[in-house]
Structures are given as structure tokens and as C-alpha cells.
Amino acid sequence: MSDTKPFVIVTRKFPDPVEARMRELFTVELNPDDTPFTRDQLADALSRADILAPTITDKLDADLLAGAGGQLKMIANFGVGVDHIDLNAAHAKGLVVSNTPGVLTEDTADIAMALMLDAARRVTEGDRRTRAGEFKGWHPVWMMGRSVHGKSLGVIGMGRIGQAVARRAAGFGMDIHYHNRSRVSGAIETTLGATYWEDLDAMLGRVDFVSVNCPRTPTTYHLLDARRLALLQPHAIVVNTARGDIIEEAALAAMLADGRLAAAGLDVYEFEPRVEAQLLGLDNVVLAPHLGSGTIETRTAMGEKVIVNIKAFLDGHRPPDRVVPAE
């Protein structure tokens, strides 16, 4: 990069205030119509940009990164998850990678709790039936759901978002259990009233609700596969706001269809944006279009973090949200 403004290519439409600030600070190429980049467009962007600002929809694999131009120095991701970026290939290429953690924690936890309540109380299903003219007045046994208060929640992944979900669930009088790569501090467990389970299989057979909040890594791919889903009790409800392929989607759909699981609330999908066809015809699953961080406040804050990371890098400092490959 020269002394002139760095050339930043943004792959998707960012909130207007973020784009306005980027225009002030950088020479920026925006994507005003928000059409996802093709692989060829990504390759072209990597060959021209000093800094690329991608999102989850941009798969930056080793082959693409190998073809990046020598001028490319940084990938400033808009989002927390970086499973769409080959971190090892980026590191080998000498590229700095950053993400946007922290600012989307509370909104993602809100969606997880909303899906939990919706799936349990059949709100979306009730909305569909009311619009279809099926509501004929109050009935003592029509559209009965399941209580949330007093039930047990198993949180898979007790990081920022998992803890935020647990705080909300505790407010609903739920009994909190969790499985994590490592046990959180005693202070956090005490505050949340949370019970640690080293054995995920054992926890799954104990809880009424499951909230998936762990990152997508090679070890969490199909973490909830057909075998583990079968460990859940038939009245259990599964919520996923993390990554779709942490759950074996076809197995989940089959179990929901034949009553081996009560319900599910999904904000992410294994082959996103495609949704398992069987899920689309089921009343006992709530399907949200990846809304986890989808508020004006959070998406703007994510964009501001992208800018902060770029600015820190340009000033010769380590970006505050730099991501490096796992050792």
C-alpha cells in the first residue's frame, strides 16, 4: 500500500452510515445492489484490493486465496464467524484476518430465546392458522404448546452468546446446563446457576431444550448428528443460532416429522440459503432467515468494528479483533 488511501472492496451492502464513513477514510468499492459475489468476482476482488471486507456469503478457500494479488494485505470480515475463510491459507499468504465479535452477542441471544419461546408456544404456527381462518374462538385443548418456565436448558457452547442465552433463560426460571470445550469459571457458573457437563451425550438425555451456540469448527461439524439427536427426549426442543451444519439437518427433519422430537427453532441451515425440503412442510419447526445479528444497531456496530480493525492495521497496530489459525 502506498501513502494514498488504501483500496477497500466491500462484498455486500453495509448500513448507510458505515458506507459513508468508509468513503471518507478509504478508496472504497461498494456493492450497492447487495448481489452476492460469484467466485470469479471474489477472485477479481482479491487481485485488486488492498483490503477485502467480506461476509459469511463469501467462501474464501485456499485456492482463491492462493491467487490473491501481492497488494492484498488484510481480510476485514463483517461478522464473527470466519469458517468461510481458510485461516491457514490466509496466514500462509501473510494476510491479516479480523472479525467483529462482541457487538452481536445480545441480539443473537434474543433470537435464540425468541425461537425457544416460539417453538414451545407455537406462535408462528398459530399466526399461520389464524390467517388461514382456522381460529374460531378460544378452545381449551386447541393449539396447546409446552411451558418454558421451570424446564431445563442445555447450552452447547458457553461463550459470549451462550452465556447471554443462559442469562435470558434463567430469567424465565429455566434450569441451566451446559457443555463447552472447557469449563467456565466458578463465578460464571454461580451467576448463571449453570451445571457443567463434560459428557455432551449425558447432558442431551437430561434436558428439555437445547440451544446451539458453539462456533463452526472441524470438531463441531454434525456435532448433533443422528445418533446424538436420538439421545434427546421426545418432548425436547432444539434451537440453533450458530451454524447450520453443526446439526445434521436431514436427521433433525426426520425426527421432527415422525414425532421423535417435539419442535425446533432454526435461524441457520446446513446448506444455507437452501433449507432441507422436509423442514418446509413441518408445523413444529420455526424457520428464521438468519436474523441473529439483524438489527440496525448491531449491523451498524459490526461495520464500525470493520473500520476500527482496518484503521488499527493501517496505523501499524494489531487489529483488536485479529483472528489467527488454531494451533
Beta strand 194-196 with 7-10 is unpaired
Kindly state whether residues 163 and 184 are assigned to the same domain: yes
The active-site residue out of 84, 272, 304, 322 is: 272
Kindly state whether residues 112 and 99 are assigned to the same domain: no
pLDDT of residue 315: 96
pLDDT of residue 208: 98
> Does residue 97 form part of some domain?
yes
Kindly state whether residues 80 and 123 are assigned to the same domain: no
pLDDT of residue 327: 64
pLDDT above 70 (res 198): yes
Kindly state whether residues 134 and 229 are assigned to the same domain: yes
The active-site residue out of 84, 222, 290, 322 is: 290
The active-site residue out of 243, 249, 270, 276 is: 243
Active site annotation includes 121: no
Q: Who contacts 86 (Cβ-Cβ below 8 Å, separation ≥6)?
A: 60, 61, 62, 65
CA 82-85-86 angle, 5° bins: 120
> Does residue 45 form part of some domain?
yes
> Does residue 93 form part of some domain?
yes
Active site annotation includes 243: yes
> Does residue 2 form part of some domain?
no
pLDDT digits (tens, 9 = 90+) for 138-162: 999 999 999 999 999 999 999 999 9
Kindly state whether residues 154 and 255 are assigned to the same domain: yes
> Does residue 95 form part of some domain?
yes
Total domain count, the chain? 2
Kindly state whether residues 82 and 213 are assigned to the same domain: no
Active site annotation includes 216: no
Hunting for cell 434436558 — which residue is that? 207
Kindly state whether residues 193 and 56 are assigned to the same domain: no
Residue 10 identity (one-letter amino acid): V
pLDDT digits (tens, 9 = 90+) for 264-275: 999 999 999 999
CATH number of the domain that residue 143 is part of: 3.40.50.720
CA 172-178-184 angle, 5° bins: 110
Kindly state whether residues 117 and 86 are assigned to the same domain: no
Kindly state whether residues 112 and 227 are assigned to the same domain: yes
Supply the range of the domain harboring residue 28.
7-103+295-323
Kindly state whether residues 112 and 216 are assigned to the same domain: yes
> Does residue 1 form part of some domain?
no
pTM of the model: 0.92
> Does residue 150 form part of some domain?
yes
252 and 230 in contact (C-beta within 8 Å)? Answer: no
Beta strand 263-266 with 152-156 is unpaired
pLDDT digits (tens, 9 = 90+) for 53-78: 999 999 999 999 999 999 999 999 99
Q: Kindly write down the DSSP assignment for every residue of 24-36, as one continuous string.
A: HHSEEE--TT-PP
> Does residue 175 form part of some domain?
yes
Kindly state whether residues 184 and 36 are assigned to the same domain: no
pLDDT above 60 (res 2): no
pLDDT above 80 (res 1): no
pLDDT digits (tens, 9 = 90+) for 282-324: 999 999 999 999 999 999 999 999 999 999 999 999 999 999 9
Kindly state whether residues 216 and 144 are assigned to the same domain: yes
pLDDT above 70 (res 205): yes
Residue 203 is placed in which grid cell?
A: 447432558
